[in-house]
Chains A and B, each alone.
Chain A
Amino acid sequence: MNTQEYISSGIVESYVLGLASAEERREFESMCLQYPEVLQARVEFEVAMEKQALNNALAPDPGLKNKIFEQIRQSGNQLSGNSAPVKYLNWLKYAAAACFILLAGSLYWNISLYNKNKKLKVDYTNTVAKLDEIENEIQLITNNPNVKMASMKGLDPSPQSYATVYWDTTSHDVYLMLNNLPKPPSDRQYQLWALMDGKPIDVGLIDNDYFIKETRLLVKAKNVQNAQAFAITLEKKDRPDVSIPQGTMYVLGNL
């Protein structure tokens, strides 16, 4: 084969520019190995193409180099450039952290709710017991036909005051309901009296705690054999003889 004819047939350009068929390529590659002038013609055209391309270079985006380096570093030498697994792991990490925080928060919430619940249960049991007690007392009084009631109205020192006495005529028990009485000063104390023929009979001192804590509406007083009316006075604390009223009368009511 005339190599010069072969070289000038256009196969060199065809091969270098990637337009040769597979068969033409195989033939050309073996020709290059056999004939140095064919190889030389190939290299000359390659250099010419490279020069031509370099002379007609255009600048790509300035940021492209970094993007390419990022991509090759991310995928390493692997054929898959997919960075999805990394993102997936990151996502998992955050999800796990979020779950842990939620779990810890939920645990704390549950424990505090449990403690609160326990306390509420105790409070509830106590309250129900107290309520039962009061209800029993009230029922004992109100459902009992032998119980007489005295509504005690407010007098001059506190006209809006109001209290009620329930007196069992058979058992002689006395119950006092403190509907509305002003809070006594710390050196004073209320005292309940039964009035019989104008004479006061001591039925009991009323603990100031009832006004501070307001835990009780109904107070059991001393028994009294006979009564026509009831009254409450405000007395000095710790006086030696409590059988004689000395303070101001706050409420008074007939049976």
Chain B
Amino acid sequence: MNSKITYSEHELVTSLQQRNEKAFGYLYDNYSGALYGIVNSIVTDKEIANDVLQNVFVNIWRKIESYDPAKGRLFTWMLNIARNAAIDEVRSKGFRDSQKNQSLSENVDTGAVTGPAVDDVGLRKVLTRLKGELRILVDLSYFQGFTHEEISKALNIPLGTVKTRIRSALIQLRTMIQ
């Protein structure tokens, strides 16, 4: 990895699908920090976040065959693997036992919707700039992985309204990160 090889996305994907360890090393060197940032915005415990990231990269290595470039960029695919792995960890029994989890409705009632992660990391930092209700919706859906239906029931808002509000929150997020 010392020699400055750069891969085009197509080359990188092809090399990974051929089980090229050098390409995998390149992938880790260039993206582990970004993916760790995402994992860390959902799982704040450093040790657990590292375990999650390890599983994320092992899964990337194993599932690279199923990556379809027509459906999105490689990073988008990896980002979603990382986010799902982190949410699965937070929702796992072991994590809940250690974190004294609150149910969704309890979260909303007490207004403690920021979840387990801190607000000054990555996307969450952007999130703080959203106004109240939109921030809650993005947090619940993106960072905590609740479905629109679950949010609709918990907040007693019609499903269509949840959908449109999340969409408008995401549009605001887009302008903030671009």
Q: Point out the residue from B21, B80, B122, B173 that lies within 8 Å of A56, measured CB to CB.
A: B122
Distance in angstroms between the alpha carbons of A9 and B166 in the assembled complex: 11
Distance in angstroms between the alpha carbons of A13 and B141 in the assembled complex: 13
Q: Do A53 and B71 have beta carbons less than 8 Å apart? A: no
Residues on B lying within 8 angstroms of A by beta carbon are: 19, 21, 24-25, 28-29, 32-38, 40, 46, 49-50, 53-54, 57-58, 61-62, 70-73, 75-76, 79-80, 83-84, 121-123, 125-126, 141-142, 148, 166-168, 170-171, 173-174, 177-178
The 6 closest A-B pairs by CB, nearest first: A10-B167, A57-B33, A56-B122, A13-B170, A53-B34, A60-B36
Q: Do A60 and B167 have beta carbons less than 8 Å apart? A: no
Q: Do A19 and B170 have beta carbons less than 8 Å apart? A: yes
Beyond A14-B166, A68-B54, A71-B54, whether A53 also contacts B171 by CB under 8 A is: no
User: Which residues of A sit under 8 angstroms from B24, Cβ to Cβ?
Assistant: 69, 72
Distance in angstroms between the alpha carbons of A14 and B173 in the assembled complex: 11
Selecting from A40-48, A183-191, A220-228, the interface stretch reads A40-48
Q: B175 to nearest A CB, angstroms?
A: 10
Distance in angstroms between the alpha carbons of A52 and B62 in the assembled complex: 26
Q: Do A46 and B174 have beta carbons less than 8 Å apart? A: no
Q: Do A65 and B174 have beta carbons less than 8 Å apart? A: no
Q: Do A56 and B142 have beta carbons less than 8 Å apart? A: no
Beyond A10-B171, A60-B32, A60-B50, whether A72 also contacts B76 by CB under 8 A is: no
Distance in angstroms between the alpha carbons of A47 and B40 in the assembled complex: 21
Q: Do A54 and B33 have beta carbons less than 8 Å apart? A: yes
Q: Do A49 and B76 have beta carbons less than 8 Å apart? A: yes
- Residue A59 at the chain B interface, CB threshold 8 Å: yes
Q: Do B21 and A46 have beta carbons less than 8 Å apart? A: no
Interface residues on A, range: 35 or more
Beyond A18-B80, A48-B174, whether A58 also contacts B121 by CB under 8 A is: yes
User: Which residues of A sit under 8 angstroms from B122, Cβ to Cβ?
Assistant: 52-53, 56
Among A13, A16, A32, A56, the most chain B Cβ lie within 10 Å of the Cβ of: A56
Question: Secondary structure of the B side of the interface?
Answer: helix
Among residues of B, the one whose C-beta sits closest to the C-beta of A71 is B58
Question: Secondary structure of the A side of the interface?
Answer: helix
Q: Do A59 and B36 have beta carbons less than 8 Å apart? A: yes
Q: Point out the residue from A45, A53, A67 that lies within 8 Å of B37, measured CB to CB.
A: A53
Q: Do A10 and B54 have beta carbons less than 8 Å apart? A: no
User: Which residues of A sit under 8 angstroms from B53, Cβ to Cβ?
Assistant: 60, 64
Q: Point out the residue from B19, B70, B123, B142 that lies within 8 Å of A19, measured CB to CB.
A: B142
Q: Point out the residue from A9, A42, A79, A81 that lies within 8 Å of B72, measured CB to CB.
A: A42
Q: Point out the residue from A16, A52, A60, A71 that lies within 8 Å of B76, measured CB to CB.
A: A16
Q: Do A72 and B61 have beta carbons less than 8 Å apart? A: yes
State which residues 187-214 of A face B: CB under 8 Å.
none
User: Which residues of A sit under 8 angstroms from B21, Cβ to Cβ?
Assistant: 69
User: Which residues of A sit under 8 angstroms from B28, Cβ to Cβ?
Assistant: 65, 68
Distance in angstroms between the alpha carbons of A214 and B126 in the assembled complex: 107
- Residue A61 at the chain B interface, CB threshold 8 Å: yes
Q: Point out the residue from B70, B71, B73, B142 that lies within 8 Å of A17, measured CB to CB.
A: B142
- Residue A77 at the chain B interface, CB threshold 8 Å: yes
- Residue A132 at the chain B interface, CB threshold 8 Å: no
Distance in angstroms between the alpha carbons of A33 and B71 in the assembled complex: 10
Q: Do A67 and B34 have beta carbons less than 8 Å apart? A: no
Beyond A52-B123, A61-B50, A64-B54, whether A13 also contacts B76 by CB under 8 A is: no
User: Which residues of A sit under 8 angstroms from B79, Cβ to Cβ?
Assistant: 49-50, 53
- Residue A8 at the chain B interface, CB threshold 8 Å: yes
Q: B64 to nearest A CB, angstroms?
A: 10
Q: A207 to nearest B CB, angstroms?
A: 90
- Residue A11 at the chain B interface, CB threshold 8 Å: yes
Q: Point out the residue from B46, B80, B170 that lies within 8 Å of A10, measured CB to CB.
A: B170
User: Which residues of A sit under 8 angstroms from B57, Cβ to Cβ?
Assistant: 68
28 A–B contacts, CB within 8 A, in A order: A11-B167, A12-B174, A14-B166, A18-B80, A19-B166, A19-B170, A21-B148, A46-B72, A48-B174, A48-B178, A49-B79, A50-B34, A50-B75, A50-B76, A50-B79, A52-B177, A53-B35, A53-B75, A56-B121, A58-B40, A59-B33, A60-B33, A60-B36, A60-B50, A64-B54, A68-B57, A71-B54, A72-B62
